[in-house]
């Protein structure tokens, strides 16, 4: 017997933008992603609200700060065992590079937005394909690159915790792929969507945001939007449009409005110039002849 709860981390006061998830069992609780250190108190309040006791494990879909920034604090404060993909592990053990690249984007507001980043102890390294036995549940790690080269999804029965590779979807909007730098790879992303579709899940949990039960329609619409992102970003870059112009085209094509909750370069559940920067890097790195 287990229960799953979506925990709203309310990053800088925004509801329905960033979530962690908890699986409660009689043997203890498992967190899937934990959010940044700046929202740690909100995480604790949410865990208390759903009465999640005896937190034992933290499964990280990837190491971006909105998903994993608090992992160091949680590993020291609560002694959690933290699971992460091999290609993200060294940046959690020594967050120097993670901090440097976040500082490039967020500058002086880095700590205000994300809080502190501490090294993670108690790391368990995964490659995808592992079947973990945690709190008497079998949870499979699925290697799902595309959004990040070290991205994992986690499957328990017919439930998948999909991180960011299954897109950002809030309420009735269609899912859109978040494409920030540095390691967007559209070929890998398509392969990961095919892998997730093949797992025949009935329920998806997304960090942005929450539970969705129309899984095949979800992936269909996500794939459509991924191809729109590919076409629009390539055409825009070829025409030498600015990142803001291309981002506006992407929002138009996907029906997303610009969010007024812009947070120092981080736009929850919207599309910004940073998504264009991630796509531009992809085209330059893998298909420079097209530019």
Binding test (CB under 5 A) with Zn ion, winner from 33, 46, 164, 275: 164
Tell me the window of 40-48, 87-95, 163-171, 259-267 that interacts with Zn ion (CB under 5 A): 163-171
Under the binding rule (CB under 5 A), the answer on residue 66 touching Zn ion is: yes
Nearer to Zn ion, 209 or 219 (CB): 209
Assess 46 for contact with Zn ion (CB under 5 A): no
**Distance, CA of 34 to CA of 65 (rounded, Å):** 9
Q: Which is nearer to Zn ion, 24 or 150 (CB)?
A: 150
From 87-95, 112-120, 162-170, 274-282, span contacting Zn ion (CB under 5 A): 162-170
What is the C-alpha to C-alpha distance for residues 68 and 275, in angstroms, rounded to an integer? Answer: 20
Q: From 25-33, 60-68, 194-202, 266-274, give the range in contact with Zn ion by CB under 5 A.
A: 60-68
Q: Print the SS3 string covering 262-285.
A: CECCECCCCCCHHHHHHHHHHHHH
Q: Which residues contact 133 (CB under 8 A, 6 or more apart)?
A: none
Task: Tell me the two tokens of residue 45.
Answer: 């309040």
Task: Between 135 and 207, name the residue whose CB sits nearer to Zn ion.
Answer: 207
Report the relative pairing of strands 203-206 and 159-163 from DSSP bridges.
parallel
The least CB distance from residue 42 to Zn ion, in Å, is 16
Query: Residue 139 or residue 267: which is nearer to Zn ion going by CB?
Result: 267
User: Distance between CA atoms of 41 and 23, rounded to whole angstroms?
Assistant: 19
Whole-angstrom distance, CA of residue 244 vs CA of residue 271 = 10
249: Cα separation from own chain's centroid:
23
| Cβ closest to Zn ion, residue 5 vs residue 151 | 151
CB of 178 to Zn ion, least distance (A): 6
Instruction: Please check whether residue 77 is in contact with residue 52, taking contact to mean a CB–CB distance below 8 angstroms.
Output: no
Tell the smallest beta-carbon distance from residue 66 to Zn ion (Å).
5
Site for Zn ion contains 275 (CB under 5 A): no
- CB of residue 118 to Zn ion, shortest distance in Å: 20
**Residues at the interface with Zn ion (CB under 5 A):** 66, 164
């Amino acid at each position: 017997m287990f229960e799953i709860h979506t925990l709203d981390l309310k990053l800088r006061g925004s509801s329905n933008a960033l979530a962690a998830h908890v699986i409660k069992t009689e043997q203890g609780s498992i967190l899937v992603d934990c959010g940044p250190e700046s929202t740690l108190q909100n995480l604790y309040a949410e865990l208390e609200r759903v009465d999640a006791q005896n937190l034992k494990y933290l499964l990280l879909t990837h190491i971006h700060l909105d998903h994993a920034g608090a992992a160091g604090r949680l590993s020291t404060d609560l002694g959690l065992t933290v699971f992460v993909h091999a290609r993200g592990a060294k940046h959690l053990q020594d967050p120097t590079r993670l901090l440097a690249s976040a500082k490039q984007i967020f500058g002086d507001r880095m700590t205000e937005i994300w809080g502190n980043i501490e090294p993670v102890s108690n790391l368990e390294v995964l490659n995808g394909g592992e079947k973990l036995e945690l709190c008497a549940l079998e949870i499979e790690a699925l290697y799902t690159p595309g959004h990040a080269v070290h991205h994992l999804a986690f499957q328990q029965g017919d439930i998948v915790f999909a991180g960011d590779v299954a897109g950002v979807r809030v309420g009735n909007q269609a899912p859109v792929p978040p494409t920030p730098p540095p390691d967007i790879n559209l070929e890998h992303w398509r392969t990961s969507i095919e892998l997730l579709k093949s797992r025949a899940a009935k329920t998806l949990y997304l960090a942005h945001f929450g539970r969705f039960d129309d899984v095949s329609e979800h992936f269909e619409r996500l794939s459509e939007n991924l191809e729109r992102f590919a076409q629009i970003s390539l055409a825009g870059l070829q025409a030498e449009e600015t990142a803001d112009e291309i981002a506006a085209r992407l929002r138009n094509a996907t029906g997303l409005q610009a969010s007024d909750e812009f947070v120092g370069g981080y736009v929850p559940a919207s599309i910004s110039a940073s998504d264009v920067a991630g796509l531009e890097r992809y085209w330059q790195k893998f298909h420079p002849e097209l530019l």
